[in-house]
Structure 1
Amino acid sequence: MLFDNHGRQLRYLRLGVTERCNLRCFYCMPEEGLPWSNKKQLLSYEEMLRLVGILAKMGISKVRITGGEPFVRKDLMPFMADLSQIEGIEKLSITTNGTAPTRHIEALKAMGIHAVNLSLDTLNKERFHKITRRDEFDQVINFYQSLIDAGIRTKINTVVMEEHNLEDILPLVELTQKDPVNVRFIEEMPFNGGSKGYQKIDWNYKKILQLIAEKHPTIQKLDDHASSTSYNYQIPGARGSFGVIPAYSRSICGTCDRIRLTPKGDLMTCLYQNEGFSFRDFMRQGASDQDIQEKFMHFFKRRAKNGFEAEEQKSQSNTFESMATIGG
């Protein structure tokens, strides 16, 4: 088993495969997009497989593929199939915006995908267009329904934004009554790639939960597993459940079991930290597997206690990348 310097077991890798995205959600990036990295600046699939193999031997057992939008990278599905065969990787999942062709869903199911997280901030077509700056709502809803029909464990990730989608909170909660889906409401974070200024949020997880409880006073608290990022609930009799993620409040840092590798190969041991160490460059300079393992351990034993400590250590305060470049 793998532990950090605070005694937290590390089991979960979030692996960004691309920075690029075919949507332009205003809370993630400017309308014109970002200065994308070229192919040579990104980890190759072979380099990713090598790093995941090393991490699996160290104790990482769960991998989530993130982006950007993972499906915009060519040959993603064969790569995921190879990833699923790495000894020690017990759970493989993916986060997507749902704009990919639904034909991928059966292939995901066939390779034993553990879960699909669908980024969806509204159930209203007009609001979807305003938030994403793209007209892909019908495709995303079709992708969602295909996931449900295929029996794949599905989560909806919804960023809660004042003046933009508060009216979607209750309809999304009520979606869990019909479908076996877990809807997770996420506090808005400052990782917007410069699309707007850094600002504190008003709609934190407590306020979100209060709104839901006022409409559904009989909601039941569910057990949260040891490293859960969300506080989870259910409407009595519902097929699904919902949760609130204190991503900005950071009240769940004490049980964090995850690390990140960005599409360019930077290790991020905390979402709020400064730019991470480049394993891309380290490998390309000829590092052995043993060298790489020792370098991972070096940084795992120097993790920030929580997101606030990591933010304090940033070289430029109040400067945040896009979630697309960090890796979901």
Structure 2
Amino acid sequence: MTLIDKLGRSVSYLRLSVTDRCNLRCSYCVTKDFKYTPHPNILRYEEMLQLIDIAASLNVSKLRLTGGEPFVRLGFMDFVSSIVKSHEDMDLRITTNGTVLEQYVPELKRLGVSRLNISLDTLNKETFESITGCDYLEKVLSSISACLSAGIHIKINAVAMKGVNDHELGSFIEFAKENPVDFRFIEFMPMGQDTRWTDESFWGADEILEQSRQFATLTPIKRTAESRGPAQMFSIKGGKGKLGLISPVSSHFCATCNRLRITSDGNLRTCLFSDKSYRLREILRNPKLSDKHILQVLANATKDKPLGNNILQTRTGSEGVCGTQMSAIGG
């Protein structure tokens, strides 16, 4: 069985948030009134493994673990080990802010986790503290260095924000020249009711590309079947790394979306921009219900998977495209 929606898109990618807790308070991600989900409502690792087993039976071949910050949850590395043992053929990846990552690099290498995404919106110490509320930039850079030394491929994701990090473009590109990383800019998305997004803060992919050409000679890299992701990648002449642009606002990629999201409290979301969700936790914890019921929910939800761009176009002004903020969804 394969999950296919009414538009003919097949699902092969699951993003699973293991926690909504994070040791940073990034201004674009966490609102001042945000409250963490009570611990009893967070899925247990055993329940997450059950969902991963079900997803694998539906031909989901790629799994990304997200947060919050996944490495702050107790027992996370044991969870990763369990996934690797049960699904050695699954493409397992992790998204992290990198602040506590370095100590886990040797174990990740041993387990065969070969790809990580690290969120890093600035290379400036003061700007980092302004965005995140913490002085952890050196910890992130040290984690990146440790990963590269261990042969773990790194993608760095920077949320592109005018007036915040646009003046660092030359430094970002220089970093990608000097290090074998994919440095990817993600357009700032208007997520959540209390979003900080404004027209003035939006730094679009086309503008970033035009400005980037002032600092480097860039050549588009043709997408292949293996690189179906949302980023348009560019090689950098004379550089070790690559530049990437992800444009969910200015040039959506909804027609090829192949993913589902499950939040840390067990809600299935078929589209990042839609607040419609399907409650899985109650099914998992009901002894009278089985995997068949979860399979049915996944199939029915996928069938009605919307086009996110249609939802995006309904928003007005600077309001959020959905009521749920990014930290509660898991990216």
Residue 120 of structure 2 is matched in structure 1 by 120
1:327 aligns with 2:330: yes
1:180 aligns with 2:183: no
Unmatched 5+ residue regions in structure 2?
none
Tell me the distance in 1 between the aligned counterparts of 2:258 and 2:69. 23
**Counterpart AA for 1:61:** S
Mark the CA change 1:193 to 1:97 in structure 2 (over 3 Å): closer, same or farther. farther
Tell me the distance in 2 between the aligned counterparts of 1:302 and 1:261. 16
Q: Which secondary structure state, in structure 2, belongs to the residue aligned with residue 85 of structure 1? A: helix
**Counterpart AA for 1:324:** S
C-alpha distance after superposition, 1:262-320 (max 9, x if no partner): 1111111110011411111122233211121111101111111x212245789x97443
Deviation at 1:250, TM superposition (A): 4.6
Q: Which secondary structure state, in structure 1, belongs to the residue aligned with residue 214 of structure 2? A: helix
Mark the CA change 1:248 to 1:311 in structure 2 (over 3 Å): closer, same or farther. closer
Moved more, 282-291 or 125-134: 282-291
Q: Which secondary structure state, in structure 1, belongs to the residue aligned with residue 79 of structure 2? A: helix
Tell me the distance in 2 between the aligned counterparts of 1:51 and 1:140. 31
> Is the Cα contact below 8 Å between 1:94 and 1:115 reproduced in 2?
yes
Equivalences for residues 1-328 of structure 1 within 5 A: 1-30=2-31, 32=32, 34-87=34-87, 89-191=89-191, 194=194, 196=196, 202-216=202-216, 218-226=217-225, 227-285=228-286, 286-304=288-306, 306-311=307-312, 318-328=321-331
**Counterpart AA for 1:41:** N
Tell me the distance in 2 between the aligned counterparts of 1:184 and 1:193. 26
Give the length in aligned residue pairs: 324
C-alpha distance after superposition, 1:130-159 (max 9, x if no partner): 111111111111111111111101010000
C-alpha distance after superposition, 1:37-57 (max 9, x if no partner): 111111110100001100101
Q: What's the % identity of the aligned pairs?
A: 35
Deviation at 1:194, TM superposition (A): 2.2
TM-score scaled by length of structure 1 = 0.93
Mark the CA change 1:274 to 1:96 in structure 2 (over 3 Å): closer, same or farther. same
TM-score scaled by length of structure 2 = 0.92
Tell me the distance in 2 between the aligned counterparts of 1:87 and 1:156. 26
Moved more, 37-46 or 166-175: 166-175
Mark the CA change 1:233 to 1:197 in structure 2 (over 3 Å): closer, same or farther. closer
Q: CA-atom RMSD, angstroms?
A: 2.1
Tell me the distance in 1 between the aligned counterparts of 2:281 and 2:119. 28
Deviation at 1:324, TM superposition (A): 1.1
**Counterpart AA for 1:47:** E
Tell me the distance in 2 between the aligned counterparts of 1:34 and 1:281. 24
> Is the Cα contact below 8 Å between 2:17 and 2:330 reproduced in 1?
yes
